[in-house]
Chain A
Amino acid sequence: GAVVSQHPSWVICKSGTSVKIECRSLDFQATTMFWYRQFPKQSLMLMATSNEGSKATYEQGVEKDKFLINHASLTLSTLTVTSAHPEDSSFYICSARVSAGANVLTFGAGSRLTVL
């Protein structure tokens, strides 16, 4: 089945540094990937839609200069949290459509970011 791999699974960084999270589709090509943020015991918040070869589409209220998304290939999208602050600490999850045009998503295992 379609599998999405996320790396790292957890990361701790100092305030002011930048952190990159990778999302890879392992056995399929993903022209579109989605990045979510999940707070403890709360819902998923869609941050942005990552489109291969073009700019990401950010949801209202999400700072595009803060959360840089790059989708340079059909199997890799990256989320970089720039100049991270403690309030950016969260669980970040990526997902991809299992096939183009399909609404079924496959999710990564998530990346827990802790900013000290």
Chain B
Amino acid sequence: AQRVTQPEKLLSVFKGAPVELKCNYSYSGSPELFWYVQYSRQRLQLLLRHISRESIKGFTADLNKGETSFHLKKPFAQEEDSAMYYCALGNSGNTPLVFGKGTRLSVIA
């Protein structure tokens, strides 16, 4: 069964501190991993996907198949990074993405 685990419900960091939002997945096939973000009073939007291997707003995430993880990292947190972050797992075919429960990031000035 496909499963996405985000162990932290809430993560608070000071501005300028490094951030790591954890995501672990369970899937026997070849996964496609995503991070979606929801800023206050805005719609959910794609932040990044593992196949793009790019940095968006200073965030990066590396797929580690050995550890079945896709942690989201940023070296220096900014106040505008405060939001709800969801890790999601997809596969080939038409099945829905599986979302983690989300982690609320709060960056304190």
Q: Residues of A at under 8 Å CB distance from B?
A: 32, 34, 41-44, 46, 49, 93, 95, 101, 103-110
Chain B residue at smallest Cβ distance from A41 = B104
B101, A105: Cβ atoms under 8 Å? no
Given A43-B86, A44-B86, A101-B94, CB of A107 within 8 Å of CB of B45: yes
Interface size on B, residues (CB 8 A): 21
6 closest A-B pairs by beta carbon, nearest first, are A103-B90, A43-B101, A107-B44, A109-B43, A43-B102, A107-B43
B81 touches A (CB below 8 Å): no
Residue in A101, A105, A108 whose beta carbon sits within 8 Å of that of B97 in the complex: A105
Residue in B43, B49, B84 whose beta carbon sits within 8 Å of that of A104 in the complex: B49
Q: How many CB-defined contacts (below 8 Å) exist between A and B?
A: 44
**B39-62 with Cβ < 8 A to chain A:** 42-46, 49
Q: Residues of B at under 8 Å CB distance from A?
A: 32, 34, 36, 42-46, 49, 84, 86, 90-91, 94, 96-97, 99-102, 104
